[in-house]
Chain A
């Protein structure tokens, strides 16, 4: 079975550019989570969806960040405009239900120059 698929695996772009990260959850999983990993702050939640509906976006740093889940098989995390402090590894994870663990994608390493 395919796991959580994230793209791109690496992204290098210049400050001010728009960045879009993509995630395809495991089929049948109704919850999707976006996490960010940095050396300073560790792993922290950005936003999560249940049944395609955003439940908690309190972890989104500021208005430059936005996330969508237009259907059960696709989600995007967008940063516009990007800044060097956004450089991090961004993980997407999905889970089939309340009592089931989360499965992580391989992450996107984002570097903003």
Chain B
């Protein structure tokens, strides 16, 4: 079974600074997707960014980018120019692409605080 580990239960960053959230995963599959979801206090689950395992290029969405290291099974999220609205729980998630439309496997999350 696949597992996802987020080793930082809490992180904080100064407004306008950069922060990196860590995520590692374990799988024997070669075809999969990785995601970062944001959950603000409203409890919505908001997709931040996704990465296809077969792509070597790291995904980028505006101020959010990932560092995908397939051999190391590492998938970190970098948030640049942090804003107060970035404060939330962040979940790393894995999804197999081997057998059709499969469920997400989540890490335990990292709570990010942004300091004004």
Contact = CB atoms under 8 A, between A and B. Distances in A.
A35 B45 CA distance: 12
Contact of B35 (A44, A56, A101): A101
Interface of B: 33, 35, 37, 42-45, 47, 50, 91, 97, 100-109
Chain A facing B: main interface SS: strand
A93 B35 CA distance: 15
Contacts of A42: 106-109
Contacts, number: 49
Contact of A48 (B35, B43, B91, B103): B103
A104 B47 CA distance: 9
B91 to A, nearest CB: 7
Interface of A: 30-31, 33, 35, 42-45, 48, 50, 56, 89, 91, 93, 95, 97-99, 101-104, 106-107, 109
B100 A50 contact: yes
A101 B47 contact: yes
Given A101-B35, A101-B50, A45 B45 contact: no
